[in-house]
Amino acid sequence: MRRTGDTHSEPTPPTNTGTKLIQKLLRNIFGSTPPVPPPPPAVPEPFAGFGLIPDLLKAVRAMGFSTPTPIQERSLPPALKGQDVLGSAMTGSGKTAAFVLPLLQRLFQERAATGKGAAPRRPCVRALVLVPTRELAAQVESAVRDLARNTPARCVLVIGGASFHEQEQALRRGADIVVATPGRLLDHCSRRTLALDGVRVAVLDEADRMLDMGFMPDVRRIMASLPRDRQTLMFSATIPPDVERAVREFMRDPVRICVDPPATPASGIVQMLYPVMADQKFELLVTILTKTKITSVVVFTRTRSRADQVARFLENRGMPVALLHSNRSQDQRDKAMAGFRGRTRQILVATDIAARGLDVRHISHVVNFDVPLHPEDYVHRIGRTGRVFAVGDAITLMSLEEERFVNAIERLIGTSIPRCVFPEFPYRVPPHLTPYKPPTSHHFRIRRRIARSSSHRFRR
């Protein structure tokens, strides 16, 4: 603080001669001021080329989708134009986003055209997604909610085993999208708790599995109650004859998209086959699980009782196991999946109910404790690992009685599965590492027996 009467002034700060010299040189070179560097070029968004609305693009970025998968790249353009689409691709290839994005885009466009900013208050849905199992329905509903997080669209899950009253209340509050299994959806329709006359987009996900499980009469009743001018999207890993009949019945000149050969396992899956006696399967399973570096594993069995046996055997060996099959209550199934997804349970023992649509990214191994009876189920089982072009191991335990099923699988996938021996396992019978081939003899000849009269023995 300067006192009154002081005549000397405050000292001036020293000037930086180096800075002034640099500024003078820059003015001499560039003129008055140095040029501003141009901004870096904008990085193009792969999904922006499809014409998606900004809210969907923001959700796609939030979910970490960098580039569209082949099935998405080929099915999104016709689906966004309103055409019917029949898509076939290997499991784990991103089929869910391939139909959820066009569905949300169309609902937004129709809502903008009619000027409705809020969801309808009456129980009338505008988009319907039919799936074969409860677990797949919950997974699709979660994907819809993630992609619709920035939109006012409302989604309701309608599945068996859950509270009918809570589903009814959710539908009465208003729903744009319903993800359902056929049986419970028909229950709501029969009680008039929702209407299907306003559906604009219908989706059949995992159509081949839905028809295999005997849902064709229910699906036919549901599709008959929908408007005729709807858009229908059908996605499946395989296109058997039953699906072809459904296509002719439910769709109008669909755009057919097949990005992979039929029944093709994912490229990142390493397949192995362990021949073993049937009574040693349990011990070999424990040896594989304890001696192999496993992050998470799904053990598939053929029947529900077999799944219970395997789960009890592993629990008695001190291994945390989650059990999933159709005889379990919905609460038990939800707890099993929550424990497996949360990695508190490293092993999931399941029947083929988990072979479709189970999307858990950290599954490193799949073990076929029983060889599936149908070759297509093998492709779906091992597709639980190697999701979205990742890598994984698929191990199959084969007894002598199951070798004929393995031969059918190898004919379907077009390649032989390598036979292996686990080095630290005490086999009682040495396993055969070559495929069984029935013996053929070129000297064998069928001889015709000609009936003769009894008098031929007296001829000389």
pLDDT tens per residue, range 162-204: 899 999 999 998 899 999 999 999 999 999 999 999 999 999 9
Residues 119/127, Cβ–Cβ less than 8 Å:
no
* pLDDT tens string 345-404: 999 999 988 777 677 778 889 999 999 988 888 988 888 887 655 688 999 999 999 999
Position 354 scores a pLDDT of 79
Q: Which of 7-21, 129-143, 180-194, 286-300 has the lowest mean pLDDT?
A: 7-21
The pLDDT value recorded for residue 361 is 76
**Other beta carbons less than 10 A from residue 161's beta carbon:** 15
Percentage of the chain lying above the pLDDT 90 cut: 48
Q: How far apart are CA 17 and CA 290, in angstroms?
A: 73
Looking at residue 388, what is its pLDDT?
56
In angstroms, rounded to a whole number, what is the distance separating the alpha carbons of residues 134 and 159?
Answer: 6
- Amino acid at the residue 445: R
Percent of the chain with pLDDT over 70: 80
Residue ranges of E strands in 281-434? 297-300, 321-324, 347-350, 365-368, 392-398
Instruction: Place 21 in a pLDDT band, splitting at 50, 70 and 90.
Output: low
Residue 104 above 90 pLDDT?
Answer: yes
- In the chain the domains, ranked by start, together with CATH numbers, are 48-258 (3.40.50.300), 269-413 (3.40.50.300)
- More confident call, 291 vs 19: 291
pLDDT for 357: 62
pLDDT for 35 equals 55
Strands, E, within 267-386: which ranges? 269-275, 297-300, 321-324, 347-350, 365-368
From 118-127, 203-212, 401-410, the region with the lowest mean pLDDT: 118-127
Question: Could you tell me the pLDDT band of residue 8, with boundaries at 50, 70 and 90?
Answer: very low
Say if residue 326's pLDDT is above 70. Answer: yes
Mean pLDDT of the 447-456 span: 53
Three-state SS for 59? helix
Q: Indicate the pairing of strand 231-236 with strand 392-398.
A: unpaired
DSSP 431: P
Tokens of 328: 């379990």
Decide if pLDDT at 43 tops 50.
no
Give dist(CA 413, CA 376) in Å, integer. Answer: 9
Q: Extract the tokens encoding 72.
A: 């998405």
Which of residues 212 and 71 earns the better pLDDT score?
71
Name the least confident of 134-138, 171-175, 261-265, 269-273. Answer: 261-265
pLDDT band at 106 (very low <50, low <70, confident <90, very high): very high
Pair type for strands 85-88 and 231-236 = parallel
- pLDDT (0 to 100) of residue 3: 44
Instruction: Assign residue 257 a region (left: φ > 0; alpha: ψ between -120 and 50; beta: otherwise).
Output: beta
Closest CA to 95 of 236, 240, 250, 232: 236
Average pLDDT, the chain: 83
Report d(CA 234, CA 88) in Å as an integer.
9
Tell me the pTM. 0.73
H helical segments located in 63-131: 70-80, 95-114
* Type of residue found at 372: P
Confidence of residue 41 (pLDDT cuts 50, 70, 90): very low
214-224 pLDDT tens trace = 888 999 999 99
